[in-house]
Amino acid sequence: MNTLSSMFRLDGQVAIVTGASKGIGRAISLVFAEAGANMVLAARTLADLEVVVEEIRARGGYATAVACDVEQAADRERLVATAVTTYGTIHLLVNNAGGSGPNDALATSADEFNAVLARNVTQPFVLAGLVVPHMRAAGGGAIINITSAAARLSQPYFSAYGAAKAALTQLTRNHAQDFAPLVRVNAIAPGPVLTAALAPYLTDEVRASMTRKTPLQRLGEPEDIAAAALYLAAPASRWMTGKVLELDGGAEWTVWG
């Protein structure tokens, strides 16, 4: 029988995290490494990744940085190849890279809309296809998709991002069926989280308004999402697949505006 502490350990696991240089991706990478995983960190800017790698190594962990634009096929293939060459296999994938700003539904072109879908849905779909054979060969694994509360909320100026994240949520459910029983696929749907991506929109007035509208009276922090990701990656969630954890401070409606 697993002990409580072992239920949240990732010793010997090999984990790829995309968008790992900042914010949620960085927090997940640090937590996974502390739990014993060997980390492969992906983002477009190598210098930013190396800072996180050094943080992990300073704490006694193992990490490798891969400069990678996950929207590019060659970069995705190189990322997976690096993980296998460096650590022998892959057990965990966190599809964290993505995102988009607000859009005007009447001023957004088809190309712009499709670009948001490609960034948030297509690349996680393809990357999952690259890693699952390695996970099955290793005896099992887990994929965690970072979707968004925008996937379920009706709000203005989020038609592109909301549609993309809703598609990622449904992809999570379908992939869970495709890849069972050896590979589990779950997702996290954060509400507003205090990251560099949110900062440009977060004036003091906006932050106070959003906090007031959130039942738990604060916005999310990257560590909140990282803790949930650890649960989904670890043996603690071994009987869970195709599900979405909503981490939004209890908000059942948009806190924007």
Q: Give the span between the Cα atoms of 19 and 229, in whole angstroms.
A: 14
Q: What are the structure tokens assigned to 250, written together?
A: 């209890």
Task: Provide DSSP, 85-150.
Answer: HHHS---EEEE---------TTT--HHHHHHHHIIIIIHHHHHHHHHHHHHHHTT-EEEEEE--GG
Tell me if 218 sits within 8 A of 248, measured CB to CB.
Answer: no
Among 126, 22, 132, 21, smallest CA distance to 66 is for: 21
Selecting among 62, 87, 157, 161, the annotated active-site residue is 161
Q: Give the span between the Cα atoms of 18 and 29, in whole angstroms.
A: 9
Q: Is 157 a catalytic residue?
A: no
Tell me if 112 sits within 8 A of 154, measured CB to CB.
Answer: no
Convert 20-31 into a string of H (helix), E (strand) and C (coil).
CCCHHHHHHHHH
Tell me if 31 sits within 8 A of 53, measured CB to CB.
Answer: no
Q: Give the span between the Cα atoms of 158 and 162, in whole angstroms.
A: 5
Hey, which residues are catalytic here? 161
